[in-house]
Amino acid sequence: MRGRNERNPTPYSLLHGQKSAGLQTGQEYRGQSRVGVQRKGISLMNRRSIVAYTNRIRKQFEDMLRELVEIPTVSADPKHRKDIFHAANVARKFLKSFGAKTEIVPTPGNPVVLGRFEVRGAKKTVTVYNHLDVQPANEPEWQRRPFAFAKRDGKYFGRGSTDDKGPALTALFAARYASEAEIPVNIQFLWEAEEEIGSPHFEGFLKQKKNALKTDSIVVVDSVWISSKTPCIYYALRGGVTGSMILKTAKRDVHSGIAGGVAVNPILELCKVAAQCCQSDSGKVLIPGFYDGIVEPDHAEWRRLLGSGFHLKEWAKSYGLKQLQVKNRKEAMKRLWCRPTFDVNGIVGGYTGPGVKAAIPPRAELKFSCRLAPGQNPRKMAGLLEEHVKKINPHVKVIFHALLPPYLGSFSGPYARAAFNAFQYGFEKRPVFARAGGSDGAILLMQKHLKAPINLMGLSLPEHGYHAPNEYFDWAQARAGIQTFVKYFYEIAQL
């Protein structure tokens, strides 16, 4: 086997010879060849060679995922700040052990982890984005401890397993294969730790490291397929406005038998405000001007979207939804991907312990989120919302937590074709291009500062429980995902 420093003008197309023993399951390595193929005799994109690699590394993948999942990287909770720094060091350890140059970049908030695989003769650079932080896990429906990794029938349970630690490791294992096989493409990893709270310090990081982060393309491995049957490449995201409405009406609790009927109940007042922001039965947003500025899909795009494999009943079943606001498939797709929303995410106030406490609370808080369609401006929409709330109740204080613009990319061109070919190779299924209903501030910031084409190539399935209790990832997605990203790196190297 040739050493890494020997001259090899076309190593990724001259893989001839026998497979080596390669990396053993769970084995740590330093300096030796790890892919498990020699550079004579076997074509790099021989599926048997890549499948053999994925089979060998399965236990190591599981061990690494366990280590990350069991770190409670909840970015919304300041008490987990030390956990996030711990996870950043673990992530750096993983990248470094795989042969990447690494750096932990501090920000005023949580750090960003960088890793870079460089290959001699590479003319293209691909940036892979993932995030290490996770959603809170305080739902009572959890069937096991959320930050205790559990493995059963090829499924990996735990908060963050599918959003986004499992997919991050999947791309990392593919990058190791590509690097050791000397596919001539540089691969840099960008692992953020504030995505779940709107990426408040990510722009400062991008400005600080802009020259070092020059790239030809960006792939975001953080999205959910429309259906478990069909790989999905997203080219559009809705924007987001999140915040709280706070109302204080007294200095302390007051007995409802003494003051009920006269004292203002802040919980009821906030419920009234919410009811005048959105119709609960139809989902129609009642804020004046909230449907302005939408960029509608044209006829050709709608034809593509209607062929994306979205089935309303299957979609509802995947997410455990028992009631829907709409029954028409196209109308549901329009509302999910191309229309703004207003949702109440929680109400805090009053007594919530066992039994009943007959008291009127002095304070209440309503947590809300809005999704914005491509073409809409989050600052303008936030202003419209705040103005509307003040007209309903001028005593309600509106606090905005995140303002995220929508994203509208392209589903054509060489990088989109590379993503399509990669998914078709890895999963042996024809992928679809589609819009998505979620938001991701990091994507907009990378588009703004790195100015490179972006593909969203997530690996999560609807049944994986994104942001839900009993979240899991699975080996089938990881195995095919590794094959997909090896193929993607190969495709980019040939552009």
Distances (CA, A) of 360 to 22, 263, 271, 357, 396: 68, 8, 15, 9, 17
Q: CA-to-CA distance for 31 and 161, rounded, in angstroms? A: 29
How does pLDDT run across 48-101, given as a tens digit for each residue?
A: 889 999 999 999 999 999 999 999 999 999 999 999 999 999 999 999 999 999
- Kindly state the DSSP code that residue 23 receives in the 8-state scheme: P
Chain CA centroid to CA 312, Å: 22
Q: CA-to-CA distance for 132 and 482, rounded, in angstroms? A: 19
Rounded to 5 degrees, φ, ψ at 225 are -60, 155
pLDDT of residue 15: 31
Q: Are 462 and 319 in contact (CB under 8 A)?
A: yes
Nearest Cα neighbor of 341 from 367, 384, 370, 382 is 370
pLDDT of residue 342: 98
Residue 12 pLDDT greater than 50, yes or no: no
H or E stretch covering 273: helix 266-275
Angle separating helix axes 414-427 and 475-493, nearest 10 degrees: 140
CATH 3.30.70.360 domain residues, the chain = 240-296+338-403
**pLDDT tier, 40 (very low <50, low <70, confident <90, very high otherwise):** very low
- Coil/strand/helix, residue 304: helix
Q: Are 440 and 454 in contact (CB under 8 A)?
A: no
Q: Which superfamily does 11-236+407-493 belong to?
A: Zn peptidases (3.40.630.10)
Instruction: Compute the mean pLDDT over every residue in the chain, rounded to the nearest whole number.
Output: 90
pLDDT of residue 462: 92
How does pLDDT run across 146-182, given as a tens digit for each residue?
A: 999 999 999 999 999 999 999 999 999 999 999 999 9
Q: Which two tokens stand for residue 157?
A: 């349970």
Residue 1 pLDDT greater than 80, yes or no: no
pLDDT of residue 318: 87
Burial class (CB in 10 A: 0-12, 13-18, 19+), 91: buried
Q: Which two tokens stand for residue 304?
A: 């593509």
pLDDT of residue 47: 83
pLDDT of residue 25: 27
**pTM of the full structure:** 0.84
How does pLDDT run across 361-408, given as a tens digit for each residue?
A: 999 999 999 999 999 999 999 999 999 999 999 999 999 998 999 999
Q: Are 467 and 153 in contact (CB under 8 A)?
A: no
pLDDT of residue 45: 66
Residue 28 pLDDT greater than 90, yes or no: no
How does pLDDT run across 303-342, given as a tens digit for each residue?
A: 999 999 899 999 999 888 999 999 999 999 999 999 999 9
- Kindly state the DSSP code that residue 328 receives in the 8-state scheme: -
pLDDT of residue 43: 53
- Coil/strand/helix, residue 157: strand
Instruction: Give the DSSP letter string of 332-357.
Output: HHHHHHSS-EEEEEEEE-S--SSS--
Q: Which two tokens stand for residue 100?
A: 């990447």
Residue 203 pLDDT greater than 60, yes or no: yes
Residue 34 pLDDT greater than 70, yes or no: no
Angle, alpha carbons 453-445-451 (nearest 5°): 35
Rounded to 5 degrees, φ, ψ at 229 are -85, -15
CATH 3.40.630.10 domain residues, the chain = 11-236+407-493
Residue 228 pLDDT greater than 70, yes or no: yes
- Kindly state the DSSP code that residue 264 receives in the 8-state scheme: -
User: Token pair 């303008």 is at which residue?
Assistant: 380
pLDDT of residue 339: 97
pLDDT of residue 331: 96
pLDDT of residue 44: 60
Reported CATH class of domain 240-296+338-403: alpha beta
User: Token pair 């049957």 is at which residue?
Assistant: 229
pLDDT of residue 448: 94
Q: Which residue type is seen at 28?
A: E
Q: CA-to-CA distance for 148 and 346, rounded, in angstroms? A: 26
